[in-house]
């Protein structure tokens, strides 16, 4: 079994972000190794993100269902309060990330045009597309009750987790 403790016995709040995300990516890879079920892999990845990344109130996946026409995200495995089930491409932070194929770092969700408020406690958001062959198959969505919680280091770190997810879902 993989040890999901951050390196050197430090707490996750004590690690520099590059080390934290490196440890998270290694844990993510270990979790999905040899497992072919995409739902099981997304569930374990959401749990690992929740365990490693501090100050979250929601962590999980929205996915593009095969054969759905590819213009809508559907709720996948997550940890947090109940969430919106379907999000059209181009709507809200998740839909914008899916439509554009680009990571969205949103310091103030209330300032984001068309933000979808599934949890009123969320103040900032990070959404990273999961792509295969240039096509978005899912997004990883992180919400925080802290304004300005996410930055480019968080985005880069979660992009490495999205690469693991792309091979596993």
How large is the average pLDDT for residues 104-110?
Answer: 96
For residue 119, pLDDT beyond 80: no
- pLDDT at position 9: 53
Q: Where are the domains of the chain?
A: 7-168
- pLDDT at position 1: 53
**pTM, two decimal places:** 0.92
Terminal alpha carbon distance of the chain: 21
For residue 69, pLDDT beyond 90: no
What is the phi/psi pair of residue 5, to 5°?
A: -80, 135
Return the residue matching tokens 């690992």.
48
Phi-psi region of 151 (alpha: psi -120 to 50; beta: other; left: phi over 0): beta
Q: pLDDT tens across 19-61, in order?
A: 999 999 999 999 999 999 999 999 999 999 999 999 999 999 9
DSSP 8-state class, residue 156: H
Closest C-alpha to 89, from 65, 71, 76: 71
| Per-residue b or e along 12-39, where b marks 16 or more CB atoms closer than 10 Å to that residue's CB | beebeeebbbebbbbbbbbbbeeeeebe
The domain defined by 7-168 carries CATH number 3.30.450.40:
yes
């Amino acid at each position: 079994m993989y040890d999901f403790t951050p390196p050197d016995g430090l707490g996750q709040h004590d690690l520099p972000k590059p080390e934290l995300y490196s440890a998270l990516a290694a844990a993510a890879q270990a979790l999905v190794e040899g497992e072919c079920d995409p739902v099981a892999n997304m569930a374990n990845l959401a749990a690992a993100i929740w365990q490693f990344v501090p100050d979250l109130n929601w962590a999980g996946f929205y996915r593009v269902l095969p054969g759905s026409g590819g213009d809508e995200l559907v709720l996948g495995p997550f940890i947090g309060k109940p969430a919106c089930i379907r999000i059209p491409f181009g709507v809200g932070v998740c839909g914008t990330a899916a439509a554009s194929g680009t990571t969205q770092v949103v310091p103030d969700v209330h300032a984001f045009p068309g933000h979808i408020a599934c949890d009123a406690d969320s103040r900032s958001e990070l959404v990273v597309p999961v792509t295969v062959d240039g096509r978005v198959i899912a997004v990883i969505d992180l919400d925080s009750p802290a304004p300005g919680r996410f930055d480019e280091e968080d985005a880069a770190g979660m992009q490495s987790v999205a690469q693991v997810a792309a091979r596993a879902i």
